[in-house]
Amino acid sequence: MNYFQLFDLPEQFELDLTELGSRYLALQKRFHPDNFAAGSERDRLLSVQQTANINDAYHSLKQPLLRAEHLLALRGLKISNEQRSFTEPAFLMQQMELREQLAEVPEQTDPEQAIADIEQQLLKQRKLLQNALSQALSARTTEQNQLAAELVRKLKFFYKLQQELELIEQQLQD
């Protein structure tokens, strides 16, 4: 299913999230199961199924990583569940350094400041990668799609680190 077609939006990485939200609400209203309560069993089932599709599509298009994965899947590159390790030395070194910083947070004299510093690093890297991803996806070439796939893989690493950092922060507060 093409989520962009479902919401009648252009197949591009940069989306107006307000417009997406408006179209989501309109589709939810149109296909809400309550509208088919007096209908046939088949109509009620189709309504529930369509509502689930709308929810899945909205969830995917709303999140940049999932939106990029969907765009790449539409272009023939399915990377959503793959497990791949990186071979680029600079990125591997950056991964190791960030993981070391995360591991050292509890021992810091000011763990809250350490968390804030790491969050800033992660945010900066995510913004850089997302901008590069947007450019790669807008080019619509095979080479740029491959680059976009690699950027998505890198972004996943930074989102995962953010989750780990949030977990450390929760543990320190408990």
What are the extents of the domains in the chain?
A: 3-62, 89-173
CATH tag, 89-173: 1.20.1280
The model's pTM is 0.86
- 22 has pLDDT over 80: yes
Tokens (6 digits) for 12? 């591009």
CATH 1.10.287.110 fits 3-62, yes or no: yes
Report the alpha-carbon distance of residue 147 to residue 150 in Å, rounded: 5
How much is the pLDDT for 53? 96
Which tens digit of pLDDT belongs to each residue from 8-20? 999 999 999 999 9
- Residue 129 CA to chain centroid, in angstroms? 13
Phi and psi based region of residue 148 (left: phi greater than 0; alpha: psi -120 to 50; beta: remaining) = alpha
How much is the pLDDT for 14? 96
- 82 has pLDDT over 80: no
How much is the pLDDT for 73? 95
pLDDT over 90 for what percent of the chain? 80
Helix (H), strand (E), coil (C) string for the chain: CCHHHHCCCCCCCCCCHHHHHHHHHHHHHHHCHHHHCCCCHHHHHHHHHHHHHHHHHHHHHHCHHHHHHHHHHHCCCCCCCCCCCCCCHHHHHHHHHHHHHHHHHHHCCCHHHHHHHHHHHHHHHHHHHHHHHHHHHHHCCHHHHHHHHHHHHHHHHHHHHHHHHHHHHHHHHC
State the number of CA atoms in the 13 A half-sphere of 71 facing the CB: 30
Q: What one-letter code names the amino acid at 170?
A: Q
- 39 has pLDDT over 90: no
